Amino acid sequence: MQWLLWLNRHFVGRLITTVAVITGTFQIYWWLNGHLSPRYDFMTPLDAAIPFLPWTHAVYTSFFLLLLVAAWQLDGREYVRMLGAVLIVNAVCYLGFALFTAHYPRPDVESIASPYWREEFRWMWGQDKPGNTFPSLHVATTVLGALRLRHRRGGALWLLWAALICVSTLTVKQHFLVDVLGGLAVAFAVHAAVFRKAARTQPAAPEPLSANPTSSQEARP
C-alpha cells in the first residue's frame, strides 16, 4: 500500500496508474464481450422510444476524460481509495455481464447520415461488441468518479457532466435503461462501502466553550 501511496502522490503517478488500470481491466472486458452469448432481452417500449443521436458519441467518450480529471483532482490517499472502488465496480459489473448476458440490438451504421459519425460508430462498434450491458460499467465508473469530484470546486458541474454521459449511453444505443439503473446502483453502493470509513472520521462539531477542548486530530477524509 505504501508504494501505491508514493506512486500516486503526484498527478503523473496517478495518470500512470489510471492508464494501467483501464488497460488491465479492459482485457477482461474484451474477453467477456467476445465469449458470452445473449440469454436475456432487456428492451422495453421506453428503450425503443429513445432516439439514436450519433453526435452524442462525443459526450459518451468524454467518460475517459472525466476519469483523467478525477486522477488530477483527487489527492494521493483519496485516489488510492478511488482505485480500490473502481476495481470493485469492475468486478461487480463483470459478474453481471456473465449472469445476465444481453446484447443490445444496434442500429445499422449505414443509417447514420454524417460520414464522420458513421465512421466513428463503425470503429467503435467494430471494437466493442453489443454485449456487456448489465449493469453499465460506463455509468458505474462515471458516477463513482463524479461522486468524489462533487466535493471539489464546481461540484454541480461534475455531476451534470456525469448525468449527460449516463444519458448518452442510451442515445448512442449502447445500453438499455435497466443497464443505466444497474450502473447507478453499483456506483452508489460501492461508493458508500469504500468511503464509509472516511465519512466516519470527519471532524466532529466544535465543543461548547465551557467544555474542555480535545487535542485529538481526526484523519482527513
Half-sphere exposure of 8 (CA within 13 A, CB side): 25
How far is residue 77's CA from residue 82's CA, in Å, rounded to a whole number?
Answer: 9
Q: What is the pTM of this model?
A: 0.84
Report residue 152: phi and psi, to 5°: -95, 175
Amino acid at 173: K
How far is residue 173's CA from residue 143's CA, in Å, rounded to a whole number?
Answer: 19
Dump pLDDT digits (tens) for 85-107.
999 999 999 999 999 999 999 99
| Contacts for 149 with CB less than 8 Å, ≥ 6 apart | 66, 69, 70, 73, 155, 158
Dump pLDDT digits (tens) for 109-163.
999 999 999 999 999 999 999 999 999 999 999 999 999 888 887 778 999 999 9
pLDDT at position 221 is 45
* Residue that the C-alpha cell 463513482 belongs to: 144
pLDDT at position 218 is 40
Contact call for residues 195 and 220 (beta carbons, < 8 A): no
